[in-house]
């Protein structure tokens, strides 16, 4: 069985490795708000358990076993977020912190029952895909709104789940997963974006646009 700290490391490595590269110790330390020395210790522990591979000057990668463990935590996190919003009436900006605790529950039976109870959802309230019990999930070719050019028309696929202030703001704009969005122009002065959401024109900061994933219709 893995400790809570080990699980959090695996999850952080998983999220950082989605950029398609090995994860650097410093990036991991920044993500987990800890010192590089602590990260190095933990990487050794996880290597001994065959969960990660560490190559000097290159970085850390999850092994197959490590990926399965990380996906299982991600699955629990996203199922609990879905449960909290759909069944307990939490708003989408309230669930991440609670799911950070619930994702460490070990009962496989509970998680299978929860999945069935929710009707085997494929995405969570923020639009993120939920891995099934074998670790498979629907992935789409989504990219950040900030990478799009003026004239882009598509839909919001997902939004960053961990910043409740951002989520409250997006809620006010009606910027939920599935909502059509149009990029009209990009301000050269500060990189802010002029967009149309539900027939209303908004100006989004660069930072906000980096946390909205979009997909072509
Ligand atoms: Zn979350």
CATH number 3.30.1020.10 given to 4-62: no
Q: For 145-179, how does the pLDDT look when each residue is reduced to its tens digit (9 = 90+)?
A: 999 999 999 999 999 988 999 999 999 999 999 99
CA of 202 to the centre of ligand 1 (A): 26
143-215 folds as SH3 type barrels. (2.30.30)
The CA distance from 183 to 73, in Å, is 35
pLDDT exceeds cutoff 80 at 121 = yes
Domain residue extents for the chain: 4-62, 143-215
Tokens of 37: 């020395």
CA of 185 to the centre of ligand 1 (A): 31
CA of 77 to the centre of ligand 1 (A): 6
pLDDT exceeds cutoff 70 at 217 = no
CA of 124 to the centre of ligand 1 (A): 9
CA of 98 to the centre of ligand 1 (A): 8
Give, rounded to a whole angstrom, the gap between the first and last alpha carbons of the chain. 43
């Amino acid at each position: 069985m893995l400790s809570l700290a080990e699980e959090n490391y695996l999850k952080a490595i998983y999220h950082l490795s989605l950029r398609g590269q090995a994860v650097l110790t410093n990036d991991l330390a920044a993500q987990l708000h800890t010192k590089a020395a602590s990260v190095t210790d933990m990487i050794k522990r996880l290597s001994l358990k065959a969960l990660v591979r560490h190559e000097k000057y290159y970085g850390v990668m999850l092994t197959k076993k490590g990926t399965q463990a990380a996906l299982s935590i991600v699955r629990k996190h996203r199922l609990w977020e879905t449960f909290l919003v759909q069944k307990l009436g939490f708003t989408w900006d309230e669930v991440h912190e609670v799911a950070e605790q619930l994702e460490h529950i070990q009962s496989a039976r509970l998680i299978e029952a929860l999945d069935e109870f929710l009707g085997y959802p494929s995405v969570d309230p923020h639009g993120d895909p939920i891995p099934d019990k074998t670790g498979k999930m629907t992935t789409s070719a989504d990219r950040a709104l900030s990478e799009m050019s003026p004239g882009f028309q598509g839909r919001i696929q997902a939004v960053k789940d961990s910043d409740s202030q951002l989520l409250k703001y997006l809620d006010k704009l009606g910027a939920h997963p599935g909502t059509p969005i149009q990029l009209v122009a990009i301000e050269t002065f500060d990189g802010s974006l002029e967009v149309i959401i539900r027939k209303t024109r908004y100006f989004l900061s660069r930072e906000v646009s980096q946390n909205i994933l979009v997909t072509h219709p």
